[in-house]
Amino acid sequence: MRLLINSRHPIITVETPEEARVEALLLDVAAELGVPLYEWSVTTGLGKAHGAPLYNTDSPEQGLANIALIQGDGIFLLKDFARYCDNDKICRRLRDLAEKFRTARRSIVLTAARVALPADLEGSAMPFQLGLPEAEDLLPGVRQVLAELSRDERIAIALDVPAMTQLAQNLVGLPEEEALRALRKSVLERGKADAGLLDAVLETKREALKTEGLIETVRRDASFMDVAGLAHLRDWIAKRKTALTPEGRRFGLVPPKGVLITGVQGCGKSLAARAVAGEWRFELARLDAGALYDKYVGESERRLRKALELAQKLAPLVLWVDEIEKAFASAGSSGDADAGLSQRLLATLLTWMQDRESGVFLAATSNNITVLPPEMLRKGRFDEIFFVDLPNREVRAALFALHLKKRGRDATGFDLAKLAGASEGFSGAEIEQVIVAGLYTAFNAKQQLTTEILVAEIQGTAPLSVTRAEEVQSIREWAKTRAVPAD
Ligand SMILES: Nc1ncnc2c1ncn2[C@@H]1O[C@H](COP(=O)(O)OP(=O)(O)OP(=O)(O)O)[C@@H](O)[C@H]1O
Ligand SMILES: [Mg+2]
Residue 233: CB within 6 Å of ligand 1? no
**pLDDT band at residue 116, thresholds of 50, 70 and 90?**
confident
Q: Which of 172-181, 301-310, 459-468 has the highest mean pLDDT?
A: 459-468
**The predicted structure's pLDDT at residue 297:** 65
Ligand nearest to the CA of 430: 1
Residue 335 CA to ligand 2 center (angstroms) comes to 29
Domain ranges of the chain: 2-128, 135-212, 224-388, 393-466
Q: Which atom of ligand 1 is nearest to the CA of 263?
A: 21
Q: Which of 232, 264, 267, 392 to mutate to test the pocket of ligand 1 (most atoms within 8 A of CB)?
A: 267
Span from the CA of 213 to the centroid of ligand 1 (angstroms): 25
Q: Whose CA is nearest to atom 17 of ligand 1?
A: 270
The Å distance, Cα 431 to ligand 1 centre, comes to 10
Ligand 1 geometric centre to CA of 321 (Å): 15
Residue 144 vs residue 329, higher pLDDT: 144
335: pLDDT strictly greater than 60? no
Protein residue whose Cα sits closest to atom 31 of ligand 1: 429
Q: What pLDDT, on the 0 to 100 scale, is given for residue 269?
A: 94
Range of lowest pLDDT (110-124, 312-326, 359-373, 453-467): 110-124
Residue 485 C-beta-side C-alpha neighbours within 13 Å: 10
Ligand 1 site, residue 204, Cβ cutoff 6 A: no
- In Å, how far are 278, 282, 318 from 274, measured between CA atoms? 7, 10, 8
Burial of 255 (0-12, 13-18, 19+ CB in 10 A): middle
Q: Is 169 in the pocket of ligand 1 (CB under 6 A)?
A: no
| 266 CA from centroid of ligand 1 (Å) | 4
Question: pLDDT category, 320, cuts 50, 70, 90?
Answer: very high
| Ligand 1 within 6 A of CB of 266 | yes
- What ligand 1 atom has the least distance to the C-alpha of 391? 1
The whole-number pLDDT of residue 394 equals 96
% of the chain at pLDDT higher than 90: 36
Note whether 2-128 and 135-212 share their fold. Answer: no
SS3 per-residue string spanning 281-314: CCEEEEECHHHHCCCCCCHHHHHHHHHHHHHHHC
Ion ligand 2 neighbours (CB, 5 A) are 270
What does the DSSP assignment read for 409-461?
Answer: --GGGS-HHHHHHHTTT--HHHHHHHHHHHHHHHHHTTS---HHHHHHHHHT-
Is the distance from CB of 375 to CB of 350 less than 8 angstroms? yes
In this predicted model, what pLDDT tens digit does every residue of 438-452 receive, in sequence order?
A: 999 999 999 999 999
- What is the tens place of the pLDDT at every residue in 376-402? 888 778 999 999 999 999 999 999 999
Overall average pLDDT of the 265-292 stretch: 89
Residue 428 Cβ inside 6 Å of ligand 1? The answer reads: yes
Q: What is the whole-number distance in angstroms between the Cα of residue 486 and the centre of ligand 2?
A: 15
Highest mean pLDDT among 96-105, 188-197, 237-246, 297-306: 188-197
Closest residue by Cα to atom 29, ligand 1, is 271
Task: Assign a CATH topology to domain 393-466.
Answer: Helicase, Ruva Protein; domain 3 (1.10.8)
pLDDT interval class at 330 (50, 70, 90): low
CATH number of 2-128: 3.40.50.300
Band of residue 213 on the pLDDT scale cut at 50, 70, 90 = low
- CATH code linked to domain 224-388: 3.40.50.300
Task: Tell me the CA distances in angstroms from 23 to 14, 117, 136, 383, 469, one per residue in order.
Answer: 11, 21, 18, 43, 63
Atom of ligand 1 nearest to the CA of 402: 4
| Listed range (133-137, 232-236, 434-438) with the worst mean pLDDT | 133-137
**Residues in CB range of 106: below 8 A, 6 or more apart:** 10, 73, 74, 75, 76
DSSP string, 324-368: THHHHGGGSSSS-TTHHHHHHHHHHHHHHHHH--SSEEEEEEES-
Each residue's pLDDT tens digit, 30-75: 999 899 999 999 998 998 888 888 888 889 889 988 888 888 888 9
DSSP 252: T
What is the dotted CATH code of the domain comprising 135-212? Answer: 1.10.8
Indicate the top mutation candidate among 271, 321, 426 to test ligand 1's pocket, ranked by most ligand atoms within 8 A of CB: 271
Per-residue pLDDT reduced to its tens digit, 406-434: 999 999 999 999 999 999 999 999 999 99
Provide the 3-class DSSP secondary structure of residue 392. Answer: coil
230 Cα nearest atom in ligand 1: 1
